Amino acid sequence: MIKLIKYKKRKIKVIWEKEPGCFAIYDPNANTLKIDPKLSKRNMAKTIFHELWHIVCYVNKIDINKIGEERTAKLAEEFVNILIANPKLERFINGLLVRRC
């Protein structure tokens, strides 16, 4: 389980606990992301992509309300479907991201 997400100059603490009424929630004021640890692997992946989208929009001052929560969810979560259907793409991307000393 991850404990921290770095994005631009932010360090977002990841808290693995259920938030009542949702799978996860990003709190920009506290720099925290709470995620339900009991989600299935697929739902957890979709949820993380979704919350990363919230983080990207917040940090870059993009008004997510213009997109809407349902469209935000659908768009962000589609990355999971693409990666599941294309395991070679997933491995290729992971290979591009490997840090070498």
d(CA 54, CA 59): 9
For residue range 48-79, what is the model confidence (pLDDT) as tens digits? 999 998 999 899 998 888 888 888 888 888 88
Report which secondary-structure segment, H or E, holds 34.
strand 32-35
Residue 49, CA distances (Å) to 36, 73, 77, 100, 101 in order:
14, 9, 6, 25, 28
Percent above pLDDT 70 for the chain: 97
Decide if domain 4-97 falls under CATH 2.50.20. Answer: no
| Domain residue ranges of the chain, discontinuous segments joined by + | 4-97
